[in-house]
Amino acid sequence: MAMLHIVNKSPFEKTSFGSCLNHAKAGDSILMIEDASVGAIKNSSFSNQLTSALTDKKVYVLGGDLAARGIDKSRMIDGIEVVDYAGFVDLTVNNETTQSWL
Amino acid sequence: MVNEGPYQHQSADSALNFARAVLAQGHEIFRIFFYHDGVNNGTRLSVPPADDRQIQKEWSDLSKEHDLDLVICIAAAQRRGLMDENESKRQGLDADNIIDGFRISGLGQLIEGSIESDRTVVFGD
Amino acid sequence: MMATKKFMFVNRKAPYGTSYALESLEVVLISAAFDQEVSLAFLDDGVYQITKGQDTTGIAQKNFSKAYKALGDYDINKLYVEEESLSERGLNKDDLMDLVWEDEDEDWAEKPSIIMVNREQLSDVMAEQEVTLSF
């Protein structure tokens, strides 16, 4: 069963994002919403961790949250996909379960 | 499930946007359960500045439009002063403050909703 | 007759500083009435919810740690605790409350409810769940 992991915390402030990456399985999907969207940027202290997650998991970011925090899509780590709320809904449909890392 | 109140935390906005997208795609929402400070999404006494969003009213309108079951947890609501008319009378209080479209009920509604729904999504802090 | 699902309550926050731990426990207790397959996960700061020796007299809050001991009576007896979360915090299994349940099928033999797992094992258990509630 594939799981959609929803993260809403900045990896620079809380441990939730790191904990999510430590527990997500190969084939799972990770969606960054709210403050977690800042984790999508390249060349940060967190980007190596997220890049290695991309080897066997899919990573998505909610575009509205990213834009609201002033991060242009061109600054994102390669391989991260931008979705809107409709895409968020699709992710919950296409994964059997969801877990929110609050 | 929505665990945070409006304005303080983005989770209420996210949940509202998500719910709209779910409905727009023709899916059914069995129930939305408001827990912890999330019960504050159901007050009708909120008066945000004119240029700000009106989160409680937006829930209420969405509920009317799509006949949604919006449930506020009674235990969390009692702690935080969210009352419907019946509960207010039962507690001997002089006012109630719940907005149209919400109802107050027990935590069993959250478990039941999770059993009956194909997916459960948690919004919180 | 309602379906039976695998429910996991994920606890990642310390008690008292916020109300999440207490209000999560309230849901767990209610879930017992629905005959579901319920388990709890304690990881990250969630491990502080079940440490022994909690004394709240200095903070004017109710000490609800004893309520975890009642979980066994409700047939909630799968409490997964992540070893790495304990060791990262300078804790070990001996710092946790002695949480047990009585096995009806074995003449009410007392058995531990706490299941120590490492990070990978906990990930496996999480992946098996049908409903994951976090607070």
* Residue-range domain boundaries for chain C: 6-134
Q: Residue A102: its chain C contacts at CB < 8 A? A: 12, 134-135
Question: Which H helix or E strand runs over C31?
Answer: helix C20-31
Is B119–A93 a contact, with Cβ atoms under 8 angstroms apart? yes
Q: What is the mean pLDDT of chain B?
A: 97
Angstrom distance (rounded) from CA A8 to CA A74: 21
Average pLDDT over residues B45-68: 98
Q: Residue C10: its chain A contacts at CB < 8 A? A: 99
For residue A39, what pLDDT is reported? 98
Q: Which residue has the tokens 């009956």?
A: B116
Beta bridge partners of C102: C110
Is A85–B121 a contact, with Cβ atoms under 8 angstroms apart? no
For residue B62, what pLDDT is reported? 98
User: Nearest C-alpha of chain A: how many angstroms from B108?
Assistant: 20
Nearest-Cα residue of chain A relative to residue C45? A15
User: Nearest C-alpha of chain A: how many angstroms from C103?
Assistant: 31
- What interface predicted TM-score (ipTM) does this complex get? 0.97
Angstrom distance (rounded) from CA B7 to CA B55: 8
Contacts of B10 (CB under 8 A, 6+ apart): A8, A34, A35
Average pLDDT over residues C53-72: 97
* Residue-range domain boundaries for chain B: 11-116
Q: Residue C43: its chain A contacts at CB < 8 A? A: 19
For residue C2, what pLDDT is reported? 76
For residue C1, what pLDDT is reported? 63
For residue A38, what pLDDT is reported? 98
* CATH superfamily of the domain spanning B11-116: DsrEFH-like (3.40.1260.10)
Select the residue of B22, B120, B125 nearest A102 (Cβ to Cβ).
B125
Contacts of C61 (CB under 8 A, 6+ apart): C16
Q: Structure pTM?
A: 0.97
Is C127–A100 a contact, with Cβ atoms under 8 angstroms apart? no
For residue C52, what are its two tokens?
């022994």
Select the residue of C5, C19, C27 nearest B115 (Cβ to Cβ).
C5
Q: Residue B124: its chain C contacts at CB < 8 A? A: 134-135
The answer to whether residue B78 is catalytic is no
Span A4-61, pLDDT tens digits: 999 999 999 999 999 999 999 999 999 999 999 999 999 999 999 999 999 999 999 9
In this predicted structure, the answer to whether residue A88 has a pLDDT above a threshold of 80 is yes
Catalytic residue among B73, B77, B98, B104: B73
Is C34–B106 a contact, with Cβ atoms under 8 angstroms apart? no
Is B120–C27 a contact, with Cβ atoms under 8 angstroms apart? no
Q: Report the CATH architecture of C6-134.
A: 3-Layer(aba) Sandwich (3.40)
Span B23-50, pLDDT tens digits: 999 999 999 999 999 999 999 999 999 9
In this predicted structure, the answer to whether residue A1 has a pLDDT above a threshold of 90 is no
Question: Which H helix or E strand runs over B64?
Answer: helix B55-66
Domains in chain A with CATH codes: 3-101 (3.40.1260.10)
Is C27–B111 a contact, with Cβ atoms under 8 angstroms apart? yes
Average pLDDT over residues C72-90: 97
For residue C19, what pLDDT is reported? 96
